[in-house]
Amino acid sequence: MTSTTIATTEAGRVRGVAKEGVATYLGIPYAAAPVGELRFAAPQPVPPWAGVREAVDPGPTAPQRGANRCAGIDMFPITGAEWRRGDDFLTLNVWAPMEGTGHPVMVYVHGGGLTLGTKDAAVYDGRNFARDGAVAVNINYRLGVEGFLAIPDAPTNLGLRDMLAALHWVQANIEAFGGDPSNVTVFGESGGGIAVACLLSSPLSTGLFARAIVQSGHGSAVYPVAIAHRLTRKIAELLDVPATVAGFRSAPPEAALAALGRASRPGTVDLRDDTGFVPGFGLTVINPVFGDDVLPLHPLDALEDGAGQEVDLLIGTTEDEFNFTTAPLRAVLAPTWLARLILRRLTPEADELMHAYREQDRRARGGVVMSRILGDLAFRGPAREYAGAHRGRTFFYEFDWDSPASGGRLGAAHGTDIAFVFDTLPSVTGKRGILGTNPPQRLATRIHGTWLEFAADGRIPWGEYDAHHRRVHRLAADTTIDEAPILASTMSSTRATARP
């Protein structure tokens, strides 16, 4: 049976839907619409409203260009990537238990490379967290040019500032939904994981959350402001506008999206640091920057200085992170010389890495070796480096269930863990689903429960990760190993220009 339910926020009352013990509120604004004079400005408070605001529609999304099909897999349930137009997109969804108060709060930051995605993707549905006793919150934030372009006369890291504004909203309002503002866990995957890793190291996040979960993310995909300005100048050139706030405000979002797409083509903008390394690992040209008030230091340096040590951290990766990108292309990338050429665009140690990884498995073809190197270089190695730098309680996992999708080549690829965390397997199951036709519900129940227990009180059923004990818990195998260092992380520097 479905009924309505009302909660009172600082800006006004909102009406949601109650069903099967869960109250659902969609599209609640946490900041003013970032348009007009507020475009490329720090997030501002929500104007209050009179009466009761309906919270039954998710509303618009941040401007983006969708990417919803890859290797025959339907990605829309994961990315939700479409631009639903409208000004008021700095909003959040809340799923809350109908009974009780003081519930733990789980705030999710969606992925999508910081250029696409939405809080509303089917796989992120938070009702099962609420069913099991937590208040779940999903947030939108500014993406791409609007959220992460470093414009010299504008605040930097606007997307991160949006997330901070959402977390402040949670502190001020979540009790009205039965949540405990002193027991907040922020978590995210991929670009959302990178964002959470940055937030954990930011002085502006102090007191906003007690725990953090970083899924397939880390703190190394950040640029010094000087390198980020290269992209700013290029996009301004493509738009034929000055590289200023006024210049970028004169370009409509559609034009900015097109310019970002052109600037993202390989070789268009040189984002290498002084050592020849690409801080973004070649995955995207858009990333957070450090050297401002949000990230005064490179996140690894900040962690080593003690930032975030009061926050419990759960961090991990999938076993085959890069398979999603390379599995369909292995035949093309089979020659070792071609794989080596591609790697040289990302790291000056390409030849050494190819040799070292070929020594591990001499029968592996070039495309397979490249996939392993890129997965370690862009995800698995930096995540472990981040875990080692964190001075507080730290726990590491690896998702190791092999998806049969893409002809059995996908394996435990990037993004295959999300539905297990949210316990939303049906949303990505089927002939074109990322998890194939019969993913194991028992594993989803266990992983979902592990995330819930961690959010409730920091419990994790395996030992901590530190410099002396590199404990990694393999989720599907349900076993903890003491892991040897990842080759790519021992050979490549991720912060040669770390301190500005």
Among left, alpha and beta (phi > 0; psi -120 to 50; other), residue 177 is alpha
Residue 14 dihedral angles phi and psi, to the nearest 5°: -130, 145
Q: Would you state the pLDDT for residue 70? A: 64
Name the residue with tokens 């089927």: 430
pLDDT of residue 24: 98
- Determine contact, residues 141/220, Cβ cutoff 8 Å: no
| Cβ proximity of 129 and 94 under 8 Å | no
Please name the CATH architecture into which domain 2-333+367-491 falls: 3-Layer(aba) Sandwich (3.40)
Q: CB-based contacts of 363: which residues, under 8 Å, 6+ apart?
A: none
* Cα–Cα nearest to 7, from 226, 232, 139, 175: 175
Q: What are phi and psi of 213, to 5 degrees?
A: -125, 125
Catalytic residue among 103, 414, 448, 473: 414
Report in angstroms the alpha-carbon separations of 51 from 7, 14, 17, 91, 178.
12, 9, 17, 19, 22
Nearest residue to 41 via CA among 187, 178, 165? 165
**The token pair that represents 238 in the structure block:** 């493509």
**What are the tokens at 408?**
């059995």
Question: Hunting for tokens 């070039």 — which residue is that?
Answer: 366
To the query of whether residue 190 is one of the catalytic residues in this protein, the response is yes
Q: Which residues make Cβ contacts (< 8 Å) with residue 462, sequence separation at least 6?
A: 395, 471, 473, 480
**Of residues 321, 349, 385, 398, which has the active-site annotation?**
321
Residue showing tokens 């395996």: 462
Q: Is 473 a catalytic residue?
A: no
* Spatial separation of the C-alpha atoms in residues 116 and 109, rounded to whole Å: 12
| DSSP string for residues in 458-498 | ---SSPPP-SS--EEEETTTTEEEEPPPPHHHHH--S-TT-
| Helices then strands, each counted (H, E), the chain | 17, 17
* Token couple for 62: 């941040």
Distance separating alpha carbons of residues 66 and 78, to the nearest angstrom:
12
pLDDT at 496: 44
What's the residue count for the chain?
500
| Predicted pLDDT at 279 | 80
Out of 190, 201, 216, 406, which one is annotated catalytic? Answer: 190
Tell me if 423 sits within 8 A of 444, measured CB to CB. Answer: yes
Q: What are the angstrom distances between the C-alpha of 18 and each of 99, 124, 126?
A: 11, 19, 14
Predicted local confidence at residue 349, as pLDDT: 79
Element (H, E) at 258: helix 253-263
Instruction: Determine how β-strand 135-139 pairs with β-strand 179-189.
Output: unpaired
Per-residue model confidence (pLDDT) at position 336:
67
Half-sphere exposure of 187 (CA within 13 A, CB side): 25
Give residue 300's pLDDT: 97
pLDDT given at position 338:
67
Q: Where along the chain do its domains lie? A: 2-333+367-491
pLDDT per 10-residue tile (average), the chain, 500 residues: 95 98 98 98 97 97 79 81 93 97 98 96 97 98 98 98 98 98 98 98 98 97 95 98 98 97 92 82 88 97 98 97 68 61 75 78 70 87 95 98 87 95 97 94 98 98 92 98 82 48
pLDDT score of 51: 97
